[in-house]
Structure 1
Amino acid sequence: MRIGRRRQATAVAVAVIGGLLGSVSVAPAATAAPADPGRPAVGSADRTDSPRTPSVWPRPQSLRTTGPAVELGSQATLVAAPDADPYAVEQARALLRGAGVRTLHESLPGGGPVVRVGGSGAVEALRALRAPDRADLPSGGYRIAVGQVSGRATVALDGLGADGLFHAVQTLRQLIADGSVAGVTVRDWPGTAVRGMAEGFYGEPWTSEERLAQISFMGRTKQNRYLYAAGDDPYRLARWREPYPAEKRADFRALAERAHAEHVTLGWAVSPGQAMCMASDQDVRALTRKIDAMWALGIRVFQLQFQDVSYSEWHCDLDAETFGSGPKAAARAQARVAGALARHLEERHPDAAPLSVLPTEFYQDGATDYRTALAAELDDRVQVAWTGVGVVPKKITGGELAGARAAFRHPLVTMDNYPVNDYAQDRIFLGPYTGRDPAVASGSAALLANAMEQPSASRIPLFTAADFAWNPKGYDPAASWRAAIDDLAGGDADAREALLALAGNSAGSVLGAEESAYLQPLFDAFWSSRADAARRDRAADGLRAAFSVMRGAPERLKTPADGRLTEE
């Protein structure tokens, strides 16, 4: 009896997907056919129905099965190019050992299959395996091929730019199962050059341990930008002039070290507008000193935020004398500070990523006096952040992006306020990322999703946002949502059932979807079956199974994310 109930509970939990598919609203250009849960998901450019083709996330641009899997066995040979990314190589070693390789040679001839990581040897092996050429692969792109080269089982990985090889290893991790590497050929690249998340909510900032865990999550999901912009951190707000306490500085150093290893660029946002004389050279120098201090801690990209600045209230007489009053005056003042900071970064830290500015009018539509003045005065090196049309918009279209770009006349950083929940603190938003045109990903200088105060729970929607940003044209929100739950469950079937119930019951948000939609068909079936005892019993069993999963969820949710999810 228990076995039967357990199977039924699993089936009901999986039915969450059906509820979501019936209620999730997706921008037309991003819509994909619902994936069959029993069929592997592959890239949009090359699709195959072969059962041997594994699921890889973010969804590759091209992945196809080209031969049988390669058995790794008890020994293998890892050949890494001398200049190969050391973090990619180290992760490749760990993957092979985790797959059962007890003896790992690192020079030829060695023994067992050969795994080539970068360099001319990998390129030659890819050519021998008839993998598509590099051609126009952008930075961050990579190729993988698996098969036989000169009679020896071979896995070859090649990447472009600083991140490509690391991305290849993240895919290799998903190609290994049961001691074998799937016989596939992959040609893949990021659809959005800069993609990631912001810790920008108002509320209790994440702990150091939570941030470190989040950075590791970002690495395996191929995200490359983390912007620290905690809404209640005084050292980036009213007390921006002051250095962080020693403990916090140590936290930033540890975070930067982890980010470097996971190929994530660590960013820091400062919001000085409520406590700064913007016409004062002395205050500008104080700001550049704070930037230098953060650079020393490992920060490599910066954002100036002016979202709460008044058009008529200055914090010194010099500002009123210099800029006047009104939207145009505020724009000129903000542009002055941004320009000074951009020049400082170029002179002192030429390796820094471009500075961005979150303007006062970050969500409005079209040109305004403020936006026009800011566009005219802002340094050409500076990017402009926006959230779409609306603070938390249901949709962001390519047309809206084009309109904002025309108004600001600078590259745009899309700071998407999903799944952030600081405006609804009694809610968590666990539905997939929807309603964004592919053009928003490809047309943004960066695409960052603002996380919830609950970091581990945030991984479900953030996983789907990362999938969209990597391959916006091939994005399937329902399949991505399933994969996000699998990732957070970490292979624990009980945790997966509980997460399906939790996420299904928390799917509704401004983006769309109906809360607990998967339960409605079960209710309907029950009420419509009262005249038929057999149907009524089956319907009652379905409801009972669904609520049994929910009842057991608190205990089952103690496992994911090293137990942090339960506290959240």
Structure 2
Amino acid sequence: LEGADGPGLFNAAQTLRQLVTRESSKGKGSKGDKGSRGFAGVTVRDWPASPVRGITEGFYGDAWSQQERLEQLDFLGRTKQNRYLYASTDDPYRQSSHWRDPYPAAQRAEFRALAERARRNHVTLGWAVSPGQGLCFSSDEDRRALLRKVDAMRALGFGAFQLRFEDVSYSEWHCDEDARTYGSGPKAAARAQAELANAVARHLSARHPGTEPLSVMPTEFYQDGATDYRSALAEKLEQGVQIAWSGVGVVPRTITGGELADARSAFRQHPLVTMDDYPVNDYAQDRIFLGPYRGREPAVASGSAALLSNAMRQPTASRVPLFTAADYAWNPKRYDPEASWEAAIDAVAAGSGTEEAREGAREAVHALAGNDASSLLGGRESAYLRPLLAEFWAAYDAADSDKKSEVKRLRRAADQLLDAFGTMRTARERVPDALEREVRPWLRELARRGEAGEQAVKMLTAQARGDGGAAWDARLALKQLRADGPERGAVVGKGVLADFEKRALETSERWAGVRRKAFGDQTVHGGPTARPDSPAEAAVDGDPDTAYRA
């Protein structure tokens, strides 16, 4: 193993570890396999497209624990990422209320431990400060206080810094002197922010020469094109100060190389830090976004000074999409979202004990991620289930009890679907403990949808073979599961699982000979085709379920 520097050698070791792990797992179960960890001779000459790759802890809500942060730093090391930006919205000591104040001793000790773990993983720890709403830009004392705080954080082991102004008003100052010094409007705000950023950048360069370049999160971090504010900020900022942006939009579906070039032009060629708001879910707290990183052109990785993904509140669950974002940032031209996503699931399920337990964990994590894969970035929810559902409906519609081939086809399709639904129902018992604690509501909802899917399949297959009793029992169970309602605050399989259940129930009503016709507030059952001795006739004045009793 060779590396251009220490981090390069460290990353070469991660590549070796990945090769050993992959080849060892591929050999499991083969005849004569003794669990050897050999693999074919290879030569890998590799380097990242994006020089800085990592994550932001910047979601709104309860912050990660110290242990969760330590584990996330280990994850960054394993996935060859090198930046952790601490921007916790739950931390008053980095925001307008208490940014001047020193951290308590216990928190300082935690930061030192984070810095040591980051160093071992060749990760640079970054600290973001948002003083804008509680700072007088023209005050020398406030400026000195900010520099003292930066010095204190540098002493604790932070090697990168970001000034954040995303929530600062253009027209609202926090001292009279600012209004007299800068005036008002976007240009005035940009000048004030730039002067403060320049002071911090010069201080870092003089006092802490090994520190990474300062980055600034501007008030206009997601807008498109040049504006008065952007032009003034870029003009006043000293060369080398980086500017953060999120693409065109807070959570853009796509980010193109052309948009990056336009943003760089709008900011007068200052280096750009792409801060992608995926997979963060604070704006949709009933969702967990477990689909792969997608919709970003290769030029975004190669053209950014840094590429950081904003994580979810759920740190272990976040590793599925964050793993894929790391793959993209390293080699965007060869990045395969689906292949990377499968590898991410393997990584999250790893360490679950025996080989059988790991395989069960992998199936469970796959079921969870597969039914929570869509987001504003796109992706099809429950994509792995869709072909199974389509084949089941095709087999059901074509089923003829007198034709063995069609009966066999329906049985095969039903078995495949029952297996998939069974995995969903039991996923909570098989996923790693840390993941189970984080996403318990979604696992409960996944189990409910899995059991409902099983009952729907049993109901329909019973109907296909003319077993009204079994169909009735399954129908009652399905309706009860639906009556129990979805798990509060947890959406799973959006647009797929509930639709399957609904279609199954509607199909069962048609099978029973029940026709519904909306008529004001009433529902009329039966119709001109109903015979006196048909199930529909028995349900004329009651609920369609009565048809099954008939």
8 Å contact kept, 2:216–2:244: yes
Question: In the alignment, which residue of structure 2 is the partner of 1:495?
Answer: 361
- Does the 8 Å CA contact 1:418/1:451 hold for their aligned counterparts? yes
Give the drift of 1:197. 0.6
Question: Over aligned residues, Cα RMSD in angstroms?
Answer: 1.5
**Aligned pair partner of 1:516 in 382, 395, 399:** 382
Check conservation: 2:428, 2:436, Cα contact below 8 A: no
- Name the counterpart of 1:9: none
Asked if structure 1 preserves the Cα contact closer than 8 Å seen for 2:99 and 2:129, the reply is yes
TM superposition shift of 1:161 = 2.1
Contact 1:488 1:560 (8 Å CA) reproduced: no
- Could you tell me how far 1:500 is from its partner in structure 2? 0.6
Using the TM superposition, give the Cα deviation of residue 268 of structure 1 relative to its aligned residue in structure 2, in angstroms.
0.4
Q: Relative to structure 1, is the Cα distance of residues 421 and 565 closer, same or farther in structure 2, using a 3 angstrom cutoff? A: closer
- 8 Å CA contact retained: 2:240, 2:271: no
1:207 to 2:65 alignment: yes
1:452 and 2:312 equivalent? yes
Aligned residue among 369, 372, 379 for 1:506: 372
Q: CA deviation at 1:560?
A: 6.1
What code does the residue aligned with 1:539 have? A
Distance 1:563 1:320 in 2: 50
2:317/2:438 contact within 8 Å kept: no
Which residue of 2 is the match for residue 218 of structure 1? 76
Render the CA deviation track for 1:140-181: whole Å, top value 9, x for unaligned. Answer: xxxxxxxxxxxxxxxxx1110231111111112123342435
**Aligned residue identity for 1:503:** A
2:308 aligned counterpart, secondary structure: strand
| One-letter amino acid matched to 1:236 | R
> For residues 42-73 of structure 1, what are the alpha-carbon distances to aligned partners after superposition, in whole Å with 9 as ceiling and x for unaligned?
xxxxxxxxxxxxxxxxxxxxxxxxxxxxxxxx
Aligned AA for 1:228? Y
Residue 421 of structure 1: how far off its partner (Å): 0.5
1:243 offset after TM fit, Å?
1.2
Q: 1:540 aligns to what?
A: 414
Q: Aligned partner of 1:528: which letter?
A: A
What does 1:368-407 align with in structure 2 at a 5 Å threshold? 368-407=227-266
Structure 2: give runs of 5+ residues left out of the alignment.
25-35, 352-357, 400-405, 443-550
1:321 equivalent among 180, 185, 203: 180
* Structure 2 residue corresponding to 1:425, chosen from 285, 297, 307: 285
Out of 394, 405, 412, the residue aligned to residue 528 of structure 1 is 394
Which amino acid letter does the alignment assign opposite residue 258 of structure 2?
G
The answer as to whether partners of 1:557 and 1:563 remain within 8 angstroms in 2 is no
- Alignment match, 1:284: 143
1:496-543 CA-to-partner distances (Å, cap 9, x unmatched) read 000110000000000001222322322222222222322221121122
**SS of match in other structure, 1:518:** coil
Q: Specify which structure has the higher proportion of strand.
A: 1
Which residue matches 2:93? Answer: 235
How far apart, in 2, do the equivalents of 1:265 and 1:430 lie? 26
Quick one: distance in 2 between partners of 1:322 and 1:485? 55
The answer as to 2:299 corresponding to 1:439 is yes
What per-residue deviation string (whole Å, max 9, x for no partner) do you get for residues 299-351 of structure 1? 01000000000010000001000000000000000001101101110111111
Q: What is the CA distance between 1:561 and its match in structure 2?
A: 6.2
1:262 Cα deviation from its structure 2 partner: 0.3
2:58, 2:394 → 1: CA distance? 47
Contact 1:267–1:299 under 8 Å retained in 2: yes
Letter in 2 for 1:550: M
Greater RCO (CA < 8 Å, at least 6 residues apart): 1
1:72-91 correspondence runs (5 A): none
**191 and 510 in structure 1: CA distance in 2 versus 1, 3 angstrom threshold:** same
Once the two structures are superposed, the pairs formed by residues 134-173 of structure 1 within 5 Å of their partners are: 157-173=1-17
SS of aligned partner of 1:447: strand
Letter of the structure 1 residue corresponding to residue 361 of structure 2: A
User: C-alpha displacement at 1:182, in angstroms?
Assistant: 3.5
Aligned to 1:113: none
The two structures have a TM-score, normalised by structure 1, of 0.71
* Alpha-carbon separation, structure 2, partners of 1:274 and 1:411: 26
CA 1:521/1:562 → structure 2, altered by over 3 Å: closer, same or farther?
closer
1:558–1:566 CA contact under 8 A, matched in 2? no
Deviations 1:366-401 (A, max 9, x none): 000000100110111310000000000000000000
SS at match of 1:174: helix
Deviations 1:379-438 (A, max 9, x none): 113100000000000000000000000011200000000001010011000000000010
Q: Distance in 2 between matches of 1:562 and 1:165?
A: 35
Pick the structure with greater CA Rg: 2
Q: 1:224-303 counterparts in 2 under 5 A?
A: 224-237=82-95, 238-303=97-162
Q: Distance in 1 between matches of 2:436 and 2:67?
A: 11
Query: Does residue 413 of structure 1 match 2:252?
Result: no
Counterpart in the other structure of 2:445: none
How far apart, in 2, do the equivalents of 1:341 and 1:263 lie?
Answer: 25
Match of 2:425 in 1: 551
TM-aligned CA distance change 1:253 to 1:565, over 3 Å: farther
Q: Counterparts of 2:210 and 2:385 in 1: how far apart (Å)?
A: 52
CA contact (8 A) 1:431 1:503 kept: yes
Shift of 1:558: 3.4
Structure 1 residue 357, shift from structure 2 partner:
0.1
- SS in structure 1 of the partner of residue 6 of structure 2: coil
Distance 2:386 2:44 in 1: 41
Query: Partners of 1:369 and 1:564 in 2: how far apart?
Result: 44
- Provide the identity percentage: 68
Structure 1 residues 562 and 264: alpha-carbon distance in aligned structure 2, compared to 1, 3 A threshold: farther
Q: Deviations over 1:227-247 (max 9, x none)?
A: 001122111112111111111
In 2, are the aligned partners of 1:557 and 1:566 still within 8 Å (CA)? Answer: no
Distance of 1:564 and 1:424 partners within structure 2: 16
Match of 1:356 in 2: 215
Aligned length: 412
> Which residue in 1 is equivalent to 2:56?
198
- For residue 204 of structure 2, the aligned residue among 333, 339, 345 is 345
Aligned to 1:23: none
Question: Separation in 2 of the partners of 1:521 and 1:471?
Answer: 31
Distance 1:502 1:188 in 2: 33
Question: 1:167, 1:563 → 2: CA distance?
Answer: 31
Confirm or deny: 8 A CA contact 1:490 1:560 kept in the other structure.
Answer: no
How far apart, in 2, do the equivalents of 1:561 and 1:172 lie?
27
SS of aligned partner of 1:186: coil
Do the aligned partners of 1:558 and 1:565 also contact (CA within 8 Å) in 2?
A: no
Query: Residues 566 and 490 (structure 1 numbering): CA distance in 2 closer, same or farther, change over 3 Å?
Result: farther
Match of 1:484 among 341, 344, 363: 344
